Structure 1
Amino acid sequence: MAIESILDAARAGMQYERLRLDASSRNIAAANVPVAAGHGATRLSVGAPGLNGAAGGFAAAVSEQPTGLREVNDPAHPMADKDGMVHYPATDMVGEMTTLMTASRGYEANVRSFNLLRGMMLRALEIGAK
Structure 2
Amino acid sequence: MAFLGSFDISASGMSAQRVRMDIAAENIANMDTTRTESGGPYRRKNVLLESYSDTSFAQAMENAARGKGITSRHAGVRVSGIVEDDREAKKVYNPDHPDADADGYVTMPNVDVLKETVDSMSATRSYEANVTALNAIKLMAQKALEIGK
Range class of TM-score, shorter chain: 0.7 to 0.9
Q: Deviations over 1:21-45 (max 9, x none)?
A: 1122212222121136x63642211
* Number of equivalences: 127
- Alpha-carbon distance, 1:114 to partner: 0.4
The question of whether the paired residues in 2 share the 8 Å contact of 1:34 and 1:88 is answered with: yes
Structure-2 separation of matches of 1:98 and 1:114: 24
User: Aligned-pair distance for 1:99?
Assistant: 1.2
Give the gaps of 5 or more residues in structure 2. Answer: 55-73
Gaps of 5+ in 1: none
**Cα deviation 1:41-66 (Å, max 9, x = unaligned):** 4221111323276xx55422232223
Match of 2:14 in 1: 14
**What does 1:47-66 align with in structure 2 at a 5 Å threshold?**
47-51=48-52, 56-57=74-75, 58-65=77-84, 66=86
Over aligned residue pairs, what C-alpha RMSD do you find?
Answer: 2.4
Cα deviation code 1:70-94 (max 9, x no counterpart): 1222222222222222221122333
Q: Which runs of 4+ in 1 moved over 4 A?
A: none
Q: Which has the higher contact order (CA 8 A, sep 6+)?
A: 2
**Percent of aligned pairs sharing the same letter:** 33
Tell me the SS of whatever aligns to 1:64: strand
Q: Distance in 1 between matches of 2:78 and 2:144?
A: 31
Give the alignment's TM-score, normalised by structure 1. 0.80
Tell me if structure 1 keeps the 8 A contact 2:46–2:83.
yes
> Aligned letter for 1:22?
D
Q: 1:99 aligned to 119, 134, 145, which one?
A: 119
The 3 A distance-change label for structure 1 pair 64 and 35 is farther
Letter of the 2:89 partner, please give it: L
Contact 1:13 1:110 in 2 (8 A): yes
SS of the aligned residue for 2:127 comes to: helix
Partner of 2:46: 45
**Kindly tell me: are residues 52 and 63 of structure 1, through their superposed partners in 2, closer, same or farther at Cα, counting changes over 3 Å?**
farther
Q: Match of 1:108, SS?
A: helix
Q: Partners of 2:53 and 2:10 in 1: how far apart?
A: 16
Matches within 5 A, 1:14-33: 14-33=14-33
Bigger helix share: 1
